[in-house]
Amino acid sequence: MRFNFKIIGSLLGILLIINGVFMLLCLPVSLFYQEGGVFPLIMSGLTSAGVGGCLWWSTRKRLNDTLSKRDGYLIVTMGWLGMSLAGTLPYIFSGAIPNFTNAFFETISGFTTTGASILNDIESVPKGILFWRSLTQWMGGMGIIVLAVAILPLLGIGGMQLFVAEAPGLRPDKLQPRITETAKRLWIIYVGLTLAEFVLLLLGGMSVYDAMNHSLTTMATGGFSTKQNSIAHYNNPYIHYVIILFMFIAGTNFTLTYFGFKGNFRKIWANEEFRVYLIGVVSMGIIVSLGLFASSDGDFEESFRNAMFQVVSIITTTGFISADFTTWTPALTILFFMFMFIGASAGSTAGGVKIVRHLLLLKNGVLELKRQIHPAAIIPVRLNEKAVSQEITSNVLAFIMIYLTIFVISTCVMGLIGVDFETALGSVATSLGNIGPGLGSVGPAHTFAHIPTTGKWFLSFLMLLGRLELFTVLILITPYFWMRN
């Protein structure tokens, strides 16, 4: 047998058990608020954990086998899909989202930390179910950390082996023990930062329930809110600034954050991607502030805050909304559309292309001009003062080109499905980049509820594709993957 289906089944089983446990964790919330959802959550949790348990029980003996790369690709895609399927149960059982397409869209939008929603009246959904919705993002973020820091570098996806090779305790040999070790360290940071934000939001006067939800979805760069108006609901600058800070941290490479916790700030500043991220976000924030201030009648602090909030929210692919950027000026709408293609740091929970890839691309482009002048010289791209191999550069360029090709084709597909030009551009960019709000009729002031059913499935597929760095999913549909040698 080519694939080790037993271990794949075993790992999937474990994921479904975890899924079930997290569903049951929503019970206290449901019981406390008495808004319903208790029975649906118990049913969902038991179903997910039960199916997972059976799967695990029947295949558990193979759990210590080593995984091949091919198994790895299958597990990652099937894991995200399996979680998203099982994750629909609380919505369906509770009747909060009775339609299966909508429930799946909402769940995969959660697990991929996208944050696009079909809910038109969030406040009417039982609090226990909404808590599950926030948890899907938080779990998705945990999954991404493992994926980005431990699994993708081993699979050699899109240059990830380069960007996160500095992960503490990580040596690219065997999967099993390293993943556990690395993931544990980074999860402690993830949990710690979530708690820190929770406390700071409480201090700003947010309710315990809302503070919990928003800190869960910030750290995942997810962007699900418990309010229909998202963060614009809170007319409190302090809360805005706290969330800006934590969105920025969530978009930072978690291995760098780890160094930060250890007090090694020199190492953070030595990282080129971080420098570009910090300087880029601040300068873009200032440019947008000035544009917004010039075209609105608000005061400067408000313009600055909203501009900074939206720049950080879109670039980190969180998708929280403090103000509707599509109503600012056309130039700023264009700018925000472009921001959707940036993505924050590799090794963070952010989606999208990632800054380090743009950086490599830009450096390679400039060097190509130098190579034109000196055709005989071998001029490699350098990142963090190390030469980057031609293979990795080519891989990164291929990644970006495939990303854009998918964007282009998908926009045409959405057009054929029957949405207008701006909505097509915006919905595809935001789904593929795991951001949340798009443009046009899926802009910050709207939801995805009105998108036709085929469109919702298609966008769900794009979310998965973007979240798993394209290659992981695409490789499954190439003949190379299924050929025997």
CB of 232 to its own copies, least distance (A): 23
Is 174 a binder of its own copies (CB under 8 A)? Answer: no
CB of 365 to its own copies, least distance (A): 5
Is 398 a binder of its own copies (CB under 8 A)? Answer: yes
Site for its own copies in 446-475 (CB under 8 A): 471, 474-475
Beta bridge partners of 386: 383
Is 84 a binder of its own copies (CB under 8 A)? Answer: no
Total Cβ atoms within 10 A of residue 188: 12
Is 405 a binder of its own copies (CB under 8 A)? Answer: yes
Is 69 a binder of its own copies (CB under 8 A)? Answer: yes
Which H helix or E strand runs over 380?
A: none
Nearer to its own copies, 247 or 406 (CB): 406
CB of 141 to its own copies, least distance (A): 25
Nearer to its own copies, 125 or 314 (CB): 314
Q: Return the half-sphere exposure (C-beta side, CA atoms, 13 A cut-off) of residue 66.
A: 6
Is 70 a binder of its own copies (CB under 8 A)? Answer: yes
Is 191 a binder of its own copies (CB under 8 A)? Answer: no
The three-class DSSP label of residue 326 is helix
Cα Rg of the chain (Å, integer): 22
Q: Which stretch binds its own copies (CB under 8 A): 181-189, 198-206, 312-320, 366-374?
A: 366-374
CB of 369 to its own copies, least distance (A): 5
Number of residues that bind its own copies (CB under 8 A): 57
Integer angstrom CA distances of residue 303 from 247, 298, 309, 322: 19, 6, 10, 11
Do the Cβ atoms of 21 and 49 come closer than 8 Å?
yes
Site for its own copies in 415-444 (CB under 8 A): 415-416, 418-422, 424
Taking residues 322 to 341 in sequence order and writing x for each that binds its own copies by CB under 8 A, - otherwise, the string is --------xxxxxx-xx--x
For its own copies, which residue of 369, 376, 385, 484 counts as binding (CB under 8 A)?
369
The DSSP letter of residue 343 is -
At position 384, the amino acid (one-letter code) is: N
Nearer to its own copies, 263 or 375 (CB): 375
Is 408 a binder of its own copies (CB under 8 A)? Answer: yes
The C-alpha angle 22, 352, 429, rounded to 5 degrees, equals: 105
Nearer to its own copies, 283 or 405 (CB): 405
* DSSP conformation letters of 243-278: HHHHHHHHTS-HHHHHHHHTT-HHHHHT-HHHHHHH
Chain position carrying tokens 């599509």: 326
CB of 224 to its own copies, least distance (A): 28
Integer angstrom CA distances of residue 356 from 101, 274, 398: 35, 9, 14
CB of 439 to its own copies, least distance (A): 8
* DSSP conformation letters of 17-65: HHHHHHHHHTHHHHHHHTSS-HHHHHHHHHHHHHHHHHHHHHHGGGTTS
Is 295 a binder of its own copies (CB under 8 A)? Answer: no
Do the Cβ atoms of 345 and 357 come closer than 8 Å?
no
CA distance 245 to 341: 21
Q: What residue ranges bind its own copies (CB under 8 A)?
A: 69-70, 155-157, 330-335, 337-338, 341, 361-362, 364-366, 368-375, 390-391, 393-395, 397-402, 404-405, 408, 411-412, 415-416, 418-422, 424, 471, 474-475, 478, 480-481
